[in-house]
Amino acid sequence: MAGLVFAITYACLFAGWFKPKPIEIYHTWRPAGYAMRNQRDAPATLSFGLEGRFRLTEIRVVSLAAWQTNHGVPPVWHLVSDSNSVPVNLFAYGQRIRGMKPAVPGERPQTLEPDVTYRLSITAGKIQGQHDFEIGGSLPAAK
């Protein structure tokens, strides 16, 4: 009996068997005019994909170098859920997501700099995920 209690305690506290898995995130970067080759002024697109559909409660993008020296650095894009966000598995940088709003009212996403590493952190209730990324070439226009 004591062995069973020990095994259950170990599984719950140390093995991580019952902890939610982190959200897997990937990104795609399409330089300006990629999809519409005849339109030179078409904006670049930075999209993020998730392995599954989630009702996001927070999206935050920060400069990784700035965040490593100061965890209180203001994000370049920050959304929070104001009620019940729609489940998503794909979204673009700066996109408005139904059920989410800027953390600071009226705040708009900042333009990303090329060759700067950024960290995307997302939360969906108790589940979290993060993804580091860089962009190159033409900058994505904030939407």
Show Cβ contacts of residue 88 under 8 Å, excluding neighbours closer than 6 positions: 50, 53, 54, 56, 97
Residue 94: which of 102, 104, 83 has the closest Cα? 102
Rounded Cα distance between 27 and 138, Å, is 16
Average pLDDT for 13-25: 72
CATH classification code of 20-34+41-133: 2.60.40
Q: Is 6 helix (H, G, I), strand (E, B) or coil?
A: helix
Q: Could you give the C-alpha distances from 82 to 46, 71, 101, 103, 143, in angstroms and in order?
A: 24, 24, 6, 9, 20
- Residue 54, number of CB atoms within 10 A of its CB: 18
Residue 137 in tokens: 């070439």
Question: Residue 13: what pLDDT?
Answer: 61
Give the domain ranges of the chain: 20-34+41-133
Q: Is 12 helix (H, G, I), strand (E, B) or coil?
A: helix
Rounded Cα distance between 11 and 35, Å, is 49
Above 70 in pLDDT, residue 24? yes
Rounded Cα distance between 48 and 25, Å, is 7
Q: What is the pLDDT of residues 96-138, one digit of tens each?
A: 999 999 999 999 999 999 889 999 999 999 999 999 999 876 5
